[in-house]
Amino acid sequence: MSMKAFRGLLVLAAVLSLTGCHTVLMSPSGDVALQQRNLIIVSLILMLLIVVPVIVTVLVFAWRYRANNHKAKYDPEWDHSTIVELMIWAAPLLIIIALGAVTWVSAHKLDPYRPLDRLAPGKPVPAGMKPLEVDVVALDWKWLFIYPEQHIAVVNELAAPVNRPIHFNLTASTVMNSFFIPALAGQIYAMPGMQTTLQAVINKPGDYTGFSANYSGAGFSYMDFTFHGLSEGDFAKWVTRVKGSGDRLDRTSYASLEAPSERNPVHYYGSVAPGLYGSILNRCVHPGVACMNMLRTPESGEEPEAAAPSSNHDAMSMAHPQ
């Protein structure tokens, strides 16, 4: 086999391998991810407005002023052109201004802490619609999802109703991690002793992949889960199924769950001890450990600013840990 044929086979193999890829980032099912996709496209187009003409111009100049083209005008004394200078500087400047404006607007509009103002294009959030609250804990090496309103918890499985805002509160047990569901919204970090927030919505029913996007140790490769986008009725059935589990997530069972483990199957907890997420966030799940939000700095005697609990009952439970 000739080298040329071998190269052709390599190119063909690469193309065939790409045909099986699912470009979820470019065809998301959540409005936040859709807006982020549009931002990528707009930014790419703005940059191509410079890149493409430059590449074409380089090729044209290389061909027109090649050594054997004696028809091309040779002017060794040429040193300045106002028109060329304007083209070189004005076009990139305008692109930078446009990119800066798009970035500034998008950075505020797509702030993960900012409550959603729409469910989909042309569909604002109805007045009085409460978001679904989900507390997320990144463990070694699995994900724990606590639903404070439904009083349930699930390991490595997440569900939410379609076209209802979702408010995620995220923290971690040991090391920094990153929560990412490409079809739903951008990634956001989860850190021990701190709380981050993500606002999102899923617009299409289906099963979507979520995973950790930040290396966190030996079991990192298996730290993924399934996110179910469900109708309101199916979500209610899912909650009922989880509640049917006899297991309870309390401080004792959480201590066992917190231990490092890999390839964890989905596990349901039909009830959750009040204030458990607040204790995880403030790192006082284990007996005899003072909660971070209850500590005082020795210099000032004042309480340090700590991440807020996800609900009022968490605040009460942290004030009186069980």
Asked if 186 and 300 sit in the same domain, the reply is yes
In this structure, is residue 10 part of a structural domain?
A: no
Asked if 147 and 181 sit in the same domain, the reply is yes
CATH number of the domain bearing residue 200: 2.60.40.420
Asked if 206 and 282 sit in the same domain, the reply is yes
Query: pLDDT higher for 206 or 87?
Result: 206
In this structure, is residue 243 part of a structural domain?
A: yes
Identify the burial level of 284 via C-beta atoms within 10 angstroms of its C-beta, where 0-12 means exposed, 13-18 middle and 19 or more buried: buried
Asked if 35 and 130 sit in the same domain, the reply is no
Asked if 96 and 173 sit in the same domain, the reply is no
Range of the domain at 145: 123-319
Q: Which pLDDT tens digit goes with each residue over 236-277?
A: 999 999 999 989 999 999 999 999 999 999 999 999 999 999
- Write out the two tokens for 195: 């709380």
Cis bond upstream, residue 143 (ω within 30): no
Asked if 301 and 217 sit in the same domain, the reply is yes
Asked if 162 and 273 sit in the same domain, the reply is yes
Q: Where are the beta strands (DSSP E) in the chain?
A: 118-120, 123-124, 132-139, 142-147, 152-155, 157-161, 166-172, 177-180, 188-190, 196-200, 206-212, 224-230, 248-249, 267-269, 271-272
pLDDT at 246: 87
Q: Assess whether pLDDT exceeds 70 at residue 317.
A: no
Query: pLDDT higher for 34 or 77?
Result: 34
Q: Please name the residue that has the structure tokens 């589990």.
A: 245
In this structure, is residue 156 part of a structural domain?
A: yes
Asked if 50 and 158 sit in the same domain, the reply is no
Of 251, 238, 258, 254, nearest in space to 321 by CA? 251
In this structure, is residue 4 part of a structural domain?
A: no
d(CA 141, CA 156): 10
Q: Assess whether pLDDT exceeds 90 at residue 232.
A: yes
d(CA 276, CA 281): 9
Q: Assess whether pLDDT exceeds 90 at residue 279.
A: yes
Asked if 232 and 264 sit in the same domain, the reply is yes
Q: Assess whether pLDDT exceeds 90 at residue 130.
A: yes
The DSSP output letter for 234 is H
- Write out the two tokens for 286: 């284990």
Asked if 194 and 292 sit in the same domain, the reply is yes
Q: Which pLDDT tens digit goes with each residue over 81-103?
A: 888 888 888 988 999 999 999 99
In this structure, is residue 237 part of a structural domain?
A: yes
Q: Helix, strand or coil for residue 195? A: coil
d(CA 27, CA 47): 21
At 308, is the pLDDT very low, low, confident or very high (cuts 50, 70, 90)? very low
Asked if 31 and 133 sit in the same domain, the reply is no
Asked if 41 and 164 sit in the same domain, the reply is no
In this structure, is residue 241 part of a structural domain?
A: yes
Q: Which pLDDT tens digit goes with each residue over 215-231?
A: 999 999 999 999 999 99
In this structure, is residue 168 part of a structural domain?
A: yes
In this structure, is residue 116 part of a structural domain?
A: no
The model carries a pTM of 0.81
- Share above pLDDT 90 across residues of the chain, in percent, rounded to a whole number: 67
Q: Which pLDDT tens digit goes with each residue over 6-39?
A: 666 666 665 555 444 568 888 899 999 999 999 9
Query: Based on the structure, what is the number of domains in the chain?
Result: 2
